[in-house]
Amino acid sequence: MFQKKKIILSYDYELFFGDRSGTVLRSLIEPTNLLLDAMDSVSFKGNFFVDWQMLKYLKEANTERTLADHQLIIDQLKDMVYRGHRIELHIHPHWVDAKYNGDGTWDFSEFRHYSLNSFSEKEIVDMFVEGTNLLTNIAREVDSEYKIVAFRAGGWAVQPFDCLKRAFKEAGIKIDSSVARGAYGKNKYSYFNFVDSPDGEMWRYENDIIIPDDKGEFIEVPISSYRRTIVYKGLDWLNKKVFNNLKCITDGTHIRGDYQEEPKPDNYVNYSRYTLSQRSILSILLAFFVNDKDLITYIDHPKDLSLSALRAIKILSKYSNTVMYKSLL
């Protein structure tokens, strides 16, 4: 008899940070509702890393539109918890420089604070504690015992970890899920290097997020990755031509006119993170079945949703069961 794999469905709950941010309704609320309904239909549960500073600055903008958007998000987060899904901590600190455009969108042209390590240790601690408290209070309107346990860094910029360790401790964060084996990114705003990270489902660590330590206080649950060869790309290209269902259905963009990546290191090997949006069913299933691990961690974003991802959830339910980060403690 076929034994189902365990999967983690994780979603970064945020707006776009390109030249067009998208709106809360079109890029968050509507696609997230579609995801929740799709997961509920097959008894799947998701983990949503909530960009908590979005809530803070929507409220501080204090316009009729931003306050309405703020309430839409609050209501949706409570609905997630009520339906058995999880909300966890996500931080995109460049919100500190964001400007409201007055039409439901935001100007993120100032990116100097995109990475957490552009702040002092005290400022980072304050962000973690304030964000954890905010999300906990929202969740506890539904579940009085709720506790935030996991974190994902905005832009995966979780290095060097010694800048974040105190913040993890003071906010009660036990699990990180920012690392992806083989991933590397460096530009004038941010940096991460997971080229030499372990090839494991999870590991304990203490001072360096990619160096396992069996006695470490924290747990890394990396985003699963795979070699995305021409076979996968061909399957997606063919699906796009025939079915045209890989297109993002939201209203923002990742594209930034001033964004330029620096060259990769010599030991870089091109890996892709496991995701469902904008991938064909065949390439998703191929990546799923060639993975020999017991646990696969997917990353996705409601803002990137394509209709194909909803079908993928239903098909994956035949071969897998979902796991929550909290259950790994």
How far is residue 181's CA from residue 228's CA, in Å, rounded to a whole number? 13
Indicate if the pLDDT at residue 1 is higher than 60.
no
pLDDT digit string (tens) for 185-199?
888 888 999 999 999
Two structure tokens written together for 19: 């030249």
Percentage of the chain beyond pLDDT 90 is 85
Predicted local distance difference test score (pLDDT) of residue 87: 98
Mean pLDDT of 74-90: 98
pLDDT digit string (tens) for 231-253?
999 988 888 877 777 889 999 99
pLDDT digit string (tens) for 297-321?
999 999 999 999 999 999 999 999 9
Predicted local distance difference test score (pLDDT) of residue 328: 97
Domain 5-328 CATH assignment equals 3.20.20.370: yes
Q: Give the 3-state DSSP-derived string for the chain, with helices as H, strands as E and coil as C.
A: CCCCEEEEEEEEECCCCCCECCCHHHHHHHHHHHHHHHHHHCCCCEEEEEEHHHHHHHHHHCCHHHHHHHHHHHHHHHHHHHCCCEEEEEECHHHHHCEECCCCCEECCCCCCCCHHHCCHHHHHHHHHHHHHHHHHHHCCCCCCCCCCEEEEHHHCCCCHHHCHHHHHHHCCCEECCCECCCEEECCCCEEECCCCCCCCCEEECCCCCCCCCCCCEEECCECEECCCHHHHHHHHHHHHHCCCCCECCCCECCCCCCCCCCCCCCCCCCEECCCCCCCHHHHHHHHHHCCCCEEEEEECHHHCEHHHHHHHHHHCCCEEECCHHHHC
Dihedral sign, CA of 246, 75, 96, 174? negative
Predicted local distance difference test score (pLDDT) of residue 269: 79
- Break the chain into its structural domains and give their ranges: 5-328
Two structure tokens written together for 106: 């935001």
Mean pLDDT over all residues of the chain?
A: 94
